[in-house]
A and B are shown apart, each in its own frame.
Chain A
Amino acid sequence: MHTNPVSIITRAALAGAAAGLLAALFFLTVSQSTLDEAIAFEEQASRQQDSETVGDSSVDTEEEPLVSRETQTIGAVVASLLYGALTGVVFGTVFAAVRHRLPSETDFGRASQLALMGFFATAVIPAIKYPANPPGVGNPDDVNQRTIVFVTLLGASIAVVTGLVVLYRWLKTRFDRPTAQVLVAAASVISFVAVLVLWPADTTVVPEDFPADLLWQFRIQALTTLLITWGGLGLFTGWLLSRGGKLLDLRQ
């Protein structure tokens, strides 16, 4: 049993890095090819546009990328590890603070429950309102506006999940468990639909001839990346806080 917050946060950060490594493997084996296809489409489209305006396709107007594709692959792996580890630090801190309020009876169960909430709030809800886009989709001019609505939606859905947990705990003191569960389920649907309706519409413009199946694949793979990260984070943290943690204890 772990009651030292620093030990919990360290374990969660380690678990997050391990989950990020799994996400990086998913990127290298699955989603990178989708991303490359999207970039190839983007380049082809811009070449076509150039040849139409200049009238001479032999002129190479393609701009040199600031960071090569190879380096961006390393960047994606580093990004995955960092995403996992940073999420792990936040997750571990919140876990330590709310552990005694989570309904499961084991740390493994509690970590899984919190990770499920985190996945829902920071991945599923944003994916419904502002789904992921591959390179070549989206207008650079409104990227700040898209970033603001995305980040504030993340904040709002985290607030809603927190509110629902508080509500559930209060309902349990007034009603029997099934009634409380039905009421909190109804409250979840109402509050999430309200947030999704209230937030501004997605302004992303998909180029007219962008392949629909490529866009769909990319969106599903982005959500899968987040599922792997959150799933790994919850399960690894739970494991490190129970059996697996003994391996770490030996070294301390």
Chain B
Amino acid sequence: MSTPNAAEVTAVDQPIEAIHVPIEAWIAAFVAMFIGYLLFSENGFLLTENWEMAHEFFHDGRHSFGVPCH
């Protein structure tokens, strides 16, 4: 386990190949960001009704992550 194998040693000196990230992964990342916005930063800017409950549930969390809140 402690000795690196040959592939690991040579990989250091060679430029590594680019990884193709499919569009689905980017969509997932944007969805994740949007969910993050809704959970942490939504104060009635996009949603007005029915969001109060989620807002209050995550209230301590959003404060502890430094997100603006009233």
Task: Using CB atoms and an 8 Å cutoff, list the residues of chain A in contact with chain B.
Answer: 1, 3-6, 8-9, 23, 27, 31-32, 35, 65-67, 71-73, 75-80, 82-83, 86-87, 89-90, 93-94, 96-97, 99-100, 105-106, 123, 126-127, 130-135, 138-140, 143-144, 146-148, 150-151, 218-219, 221-223, 225-226, 229
Take A72-B56, A133-B63, A143-B68 as given contacts and tell me if A89 and B28 are in contact as well, using a CB distance cutoff of 8 Å: yes
B66 pairs with A225, CB closer than 8 A:
yes
A75 pairs with B19, CB closer than 8 A:
no
- Chain B residues with CB under 8 Å of A90's CB are 29, 32-33
A87 pairs with B68, CB closer than 8 A:
no
B66 pairs with A35, CB closer than 8 A:
no
Take A9-B28, A66-B52, A143-B43 as given contacts and tell me if A79 and B66 are in contact as well, using a CB distance cutoff of 8 Å: no
Looking at B28, B29, B61, which has the most chain A CB atoms within 10 Å of its CB? B61
A96 pairs with B25, CB closer than 8 A:
yes
A75 pairs with B58, CB closer than 8 A:
yes
CB-defined A-B contacts under 8 Å, sample of 12: A66-B56, A72-B57, A75-B59, A133-B68, A133-B69, A143-B43, A143-B44, A150-B68, A222-B63, A222-B64, A225-B64, A226-B65
- Chain B residues with CB under 8 Å of A147's CB are 41, 43, 45, 68
Is B21 close to A, CB under 8 A? yes
A3 pairs with B63, CB closer than 8 A:
no
B40 pairs with A79, CB closer than 8 A:
yes
Is B60 close to A, CB under 8 A? yes
- Chain B residues with CB under 8 Å of A146's CB are 68
Is B18 close to A, CB under 8 A? yes
- Chain A residues with CB under 8 Å of B60's CB are 27, 32, 35, 72-73, 75-76, 79
B70 pairs with A99, CB closer than 8 A:
no
- Chain B residues with CB under 8 Å of A133's CB are 63, 68-69
Q: Which of B16, B22, B39 contacts A79 (CB 8 A)?
A: B39
- In the bound complex, what is the Cα–Cα distance between A97 and B20 (angstroms)? 7
Which of chain B's residues has its CB closest to A38's CB?
B63
For B14-56 the 0/1 string (1 means CB < 8 A from A) is 0111111110011011001101110111011100000011001
- In the bound complex, what is the Cα–Cα distance between A227 and B20 (angstroms)? 30
- Chain B residues with CB under 8 Å of A75's CB are 56-61
A76 pairs with B33, CB closer than 8 A:
no
Take A76-B60, A100-B19 as given contacts and tell me if A223 and B66 are in contact as well, using a CB distance cutoff of 8 Å: yes
Which of chain B's residues has its CB closest to A85's CB?
B32
User: Given known contacts A9-B25, A23-B65, A31-B64, what 9 new A-B pairs fall within 8 Å (CB)?
Assistant: A27-B64, A32-B60, A80-B65, A86-B36, A90-B32, A96-B21, A127-B66, A146-B68, A150-B41
B21 pairs with A93, CB closer than 8 A:
yes
Take A89-B32, A100-B16 as given contacts and tell me if A83 and B63 are in contact as well, using a CB distance cutoff of 8 Å: no
A96 pairs with B19, CB closer than 8 A:
yes
